[in-house]
Amino acid sequence: MGIVAAVQSTPVYVDGLATARKAAESIAEAAQNGAWLAVFPETYIPGNPDFIDRAVPGSEVFQAFERRFLESAVTVPGPEIDVIAQACRKYQMTVAIGVTERPARSGTLYNTLLYVGPDGSILGRHRKIMPTYSERMIWGMGDGTTLRTIETPHGIVGGLICWENFMPMPRMVLYAQGEQLHVAPTLASGGERWIAAMRHIANEGRMWVVSVGNFMRETDLPPDLAKLGLYKPDEVINPGGSMIVNPKGKIVAGPVYDQESILYADADPAESLLAKRDFDVVGHYGRADLFGLTVRDVQIPLQIDGKVLPPFDDHVWRVAASEPVHELKVSAGPAADD
């Protein structure tokens, strides 16, 4: 499978294009260190909407952060994604990157995990199916059609976003598609509970897990937002906690906190195959004779037999790289009903 990279990088907060350019620099660095895959945190572009847990909804401070966050959300495809695609082409890299996505002509935002291939094409995207708690004030819910793996020359890659990883059934849907490497972008590691979950998923699926947390400080906020006083001076908003775990649940890189860092591991697919000899959750432990699983009326086989999983009734999965982008500009001025 080759070397994979977990990129714990601080976004240029609420500046999507600048963050994409910073991501391109990290893609170049990862490539120079022999990686074929670079994984970035949840909603890396344009940053973490942590303000939803700090400011009173509807308050002036909340609205100031919310407006900037909406303005900097990305449309897929779009100029920010073009920057990522160009870096992928230049360095022959595959990238999994978290973005806050705003579909063209829409005001709904989605927490999206986007995959870009070494030719610069959009390989796919996954929209978070269950925003966690206060996140529901920001993101809409994905419809489940994006619970798909990505086939690459290096192996089959799948991923879930943050607390989706705690949901057994989405994990099983990915396992059933032959997932060999699981990416788990998140806002922050969540401490021992998150570490335990990543180790469990690696052990359960007998696959490599790349978990990437968001690292951000109060000093990373734009001056106009920092002066609103929502955060303490020099406060660490998110500590990161990125790590890479092998198919037996052993942490082989990280976790790393309170700094920007790129972690690397040589994700040998043979380790995954050998680990499945004694426990294969969609093989001899699948017990398809006892259990069943469906997604949007599609039967998900719990024992891999070489057949290709039938397609979901899908309106968001296939993304044409040449699809025109219709930008909806959001005024920075006062709202109409202010």
Residues annotated as catalytic (active site), given as ranges: 42, 128, 162
Residues sharing a CB contact under 8 Å with residue 58, sequence separation 6 or more, in sequence order: none
Distance CA 303, CA 331 (A): 52
The answer to whether the Cα torsion of 305, 176, 27, 129 is positive or negative is positive
Task: Give the H/E segment covering residue 192.
Answer: helix 192-205
Rounded-to-10 torsion of CA 30, 32, 182, 128: 40
Distance CA 187, CA 230 (A): 18
300 neighbors 42 (Cβ within 8 angstroms): no
Q: Are strands 139-140 and 109-116 parallel, antiparallel or unpaired?
A: parallel
316 neighbors 125 (Cβ within 8 angstroms): yes
**Residue 189, both tokens:** 């590691």
- First-to-last alpha carbon distance for the chain, in angstroms, is 55
221 neighbors 53 (Cβ within 8 angstroms): no
Q: How far, rounded to the nearest angstrom, does the alpha carbon of residue 290 sit from its chain's CA centroid?
A: 33
121 neighbors 135 (Cβ within 8 angstroms): no
Task: Give the H/E segment covering residue 257.
Answer: strand 251-257
Strand, coil or helix: 24: helix
Distance CA 186, CA 193 (A): 13
Amino acid found at 181: L
